[in-house]
Structure 1
Amino acid sequence: MIATAIEAGTNILDVTATVAPWLLIGLALGAVVQVLIPTHRLRQWLGGSGVAPVARAAVIGAPLPLCSCGAIPTALSLHRGGGSRGASTAFLVGTPGIGIDSVVLTWVLMGPFMAVSRVVGAVATAIATGLAVGRVPPAVPATVGEAGCASGCTGSTDHAEYAPDPGPVRHMGRVMLRLIDDIGTWLIIGLILAGLMITFVPPGSLAAWGSGLLAMVVLALVGIPLYVCATAATPVAAAMLIAGVSPGAVLVFLIAGPVTSLATLLVLRRELGTPAAGVYLGSIVVAALMVGLVVDGVVALGGLEPAAMAGAAREIWPEWVERAAAGVMLTLIIVPARRAVRRAGHWAWSVARGGRRVRT
């Protein structure tokens, strides 16, 4: 029992160290993208009707590192600011489905094939869902006061909330910290689950069960009610792939889980009506299953082995870099630790300036 617990702890720490440098890089890139694309600019790009604004919404939303609840305020702002129903919905699906940070982690943990498949699948699902919802007759919109997230959201992530600071580096740093606060808890849970799966589910043990349409439907039904961001879902999906779940079924989980949650459905129902919410949910499930079946077909025809590609990029960083990055990442995620470091920094700065105390 003790040996198993030690092994599980070691696996959790190994997964954390592996993803830490890449996650920090991905979050930094995501903060840059989010700062450079303000909401008013998105409204201009997503206006009009037809396929073009829906496709633009899916593609533009893809690199933004927002979870499903985090994307709600921006999507509603786009809709009420003139964006079409289809484009707003495509943004609401495409934005939490992937992000720069989650794509980087997918490449690191599962290889380039799964990373590319995840991007293409998420964008295709967003476009299909946006086009489907766009055909539903409009409902009476909710008042501004009614729109918001259910429990579990960490707050609005509307780009207007990030008012420019005197220094751009400080501005982007604050955005990065907000993103870490949004995903931190679920990222830790995802890393723990991934480590436990690696410990207790031997490689290849799920190969018989984890393939085919039934497995995809089960993973879609499991993923949809959960509130899990794309980044936090990635280590869990990587453990599934190693355990023998088919690449297509893994992608169904990665698409269906992050793009929606009960909070998203409730807000969408208030904003666009019950029929639109039903079409939204049904379209996500159907599109995700189609993506899964296509990916498994490509893997079978091409003789690919995505599980063998998993972890191909792990040896890029020296071990000390991974450990240092893991320490930084955990310090940033654990808010009390982050505050303690900040207080220590203020104290050191006050000592350096002659012993004058600085209020923290």
Structure 2
Amino acid sequence: MNFPRDFFEASLSLWINMAPYLLLGMAIGGMLHVFLKEDFILRHLGSPSLSAVFKATLFGIPLPLCSCGVIPVAATLRRDGASRSATLAFLTSTPTTGADSILATYSLLGPLFAVFRPFASLLSGLMVGSLGFIFDKEPTGVRRCVSASSSPIDGKLRESLRYAFVELPNEIGGWLILGILIGGALSALVPERAFDPLKAHPLLESIIILGFSIPLYVCATGSIPIAAALIAKGISPGAALVFLVAGPATNTVTVGFVCSQLGRKATAIYLISIILSALFLGWAFNRLWVYLGTSPELLTPGGEFLPFWFKGICGVFLLAAVLYALCLKTRSEKVREMKYTFYVPAINCEHCKYNIERSLSKLQGVERVVVDISRKTVGVDGEADRKTLEESLREMGYPPEGNGD
């Protein structure tokens, strides 16, 4: 076995097969970011009802937000009057899939996964939200009025491209590369069909996969090459789906947010519901796979059908976009000399930076806001009150630690 060569070839294959579909998905994600505004979503999710749960789940499926990026959006929904059950549904369905990851799923896992994965996201979101509605009742709240903003079409196009090929690569790029490297390492190190013995015990297989999926931070896109490598080594398609559902939906940061913002009861409902829905969906996917005759074509990666030269060009472009976005992150503006500096551990990505800077800039007395992602700090200049700034950060789902000095 030549590990360096096998590792490089496997990682390269995963990257170029995923690149064309991921770029297309990122472009769609950019359009959704511009045209599917948060104020539109907020108007539909305020009442504690099953219809709000359904809408929250449905709205979350196409949004290209990772486990980290969904937190500030969920905090905004909750602050503007969304019910606990709708917030739970949104937190579940959004990170488990998205416009970018649906196409990327097809590129590495084939058409059956690409079709079933959004359905799994819908079902898990509905289950979490419905159980929250039934067992965690709350009175009807008062929603704030929100107003839609408009901008010229050329401005929308620029913002769509910026979000698709700068902010999204910044948010998912690191995890995408990590997922590719893990998938390449699994392909190179683990013997073929190594997990075949577990197929005789499907429930145990799914529980083992679930055990390391729940605490793991992995985005919907970054989980795909790992799942592809697991299937190649003998894991059943259903167990791989368990990973694709539970991995992006749960991690220690998200669980901490649910506990602090929605309460312990909602946290218990959230975790139990995801565990049960992931296990059920894994079982159902295996049964569907058998019912369809275990046809290899259903799991044939879509990337295999594209010409190599085209995949290569897309792979180079995707790598350039990711490296450019990550370089921008390392050149982030320093905040040491600003009037207030807050340490905020929940800052993880460009989406966090965008939300904090946009929200704090609207406060009276705030002249300048700078977020340093690498140091997890927020710097604020102006005459705004420190307590007001701290409270605003908490409402957004970014509680500061220590004093802002």
* Normalised-by-shorter TM-score class: 0.7 to 0.9
Structure 2 counterpart of 1:246: 236
Structure 2 counterpart of 1:70: 69
Structure 2 counterpart of 1:319: 308
Q: 1:296 aligns with which of 258, 270, 286?
A: 286
CA deviation after TM superposition for structure 1 residue 161, in Å: 12
Q: 2:163 aligns with which of 175, 187, 210?
A: 175
Structure 2 counterpart of 1:257: 247
The number of equivalent residue pairs is: 318
Conserved? CA contact 2:113–2:299, under 8 Å:
no
CA deviation after TM superposition for structure 1 residue 249, in Å: 0.6
Query: Secondary structure at the residue paired with 1:205?
Result: coil
Which runs of 5 or more residues in structure 1 are unaligned? 140-159, 340-360
State the distance in 2 between where 1:129 and 1:97 align. Answer: 13
Conserved? CA contact 1:331–1:337, under 8 Å:
no
State the distance in 1 between where 2:29 and 2:39 align. Answer: 18
The one-letter code sitting in structure 2 at the alignment partner of 1:251 is L
User: What does 1:189-208 align with in structure 2 at a 5 Å threshold?
Assistant: 189-208=178-197
Structure 1 counterpart of 2:227: 237
The one-letter code sitting in structure 2 at the alignment partner of 1:31 is G
Structure 1 counterpart of 2:79: 80
Conserved? CA contact 2:173–2:326, under 8 Å:
no
Structure 2 counterpart of 1:110: 109
State the distance in 2 between where 1:124 and 1:164 align. Answer: 37
Higher strand fraction (1 or 2): 2
TM normalised by structure 1 equals: 0.82
State the distance in 2 between where 1:269 and 1:83 align. Answer: 16
Conserved? CA contact 2:169–2:325, under 8 Å:
no
User: What does 1:217-232 align with in structure 2 at a 5 Å threshold?
Assistant: 217-232=207-222
Structure 1 counterpart of 2:319: 330
State the distance in 1 between where 2:209 and 2:162 align. Answer: 35
CA deviations on 1:183-204 (whole Å, 9 max, x unpaired) are 1111001111111222223443
Percent identical residues? 34
CA deviation after TM superposition for structure 1 residue 338, in Å: 5.9
> Which structure has the higher relative contact order (CA within 8 Å, separation 6+)?
1
Which runs of 5 or more residues in structure 2 are unaligned? 139-147, 329-405
State the distance in 2 between where 1:287 and 1:336 align. Answer: 35
Structure 2 counterpart of 1:152: none
Q: 1:279 aligns with which of 269, 282, 292?
A: 269
Structure 1 counterpart of 2:42: 43
Query: Secondary structure at the residue paired with 1:230?
Result: coil
CA deviations on 1:280-319 (whole Å, 9 max, x unpaired) are 111100111011111112223332245x543442243322
Structure 2 counterpart of 1:188: 177
State the distance in 2 between where 1:161 and 1:229 align. Answer: 30
CA deviation after TM superposition for structure 1 residue 32, in Å: 0.8
Query: Secondary structure at the residue paired with 2:181?
Result: helix
CA deviation after TM superposition for structure 1 residue 75, in Å: 1.1
State the distance in 1 between where 2:291 and 2:126 align. Answer: 26
State the distance in 1 between where 2:133 and 2:75 align. Answer: 15
CA deviation after TM superposition for structure 1 residue 257, in Å: 0.4
CA deviations on 1:51-80 (whole Å, 9 max, x unpaired) are 211111111110111011111111121122
CA deviation after TM superposition for structure 1 residue 226, in Å: 0.9
Query: Secondary structure at the residue paired with 2:69?
Result: helix
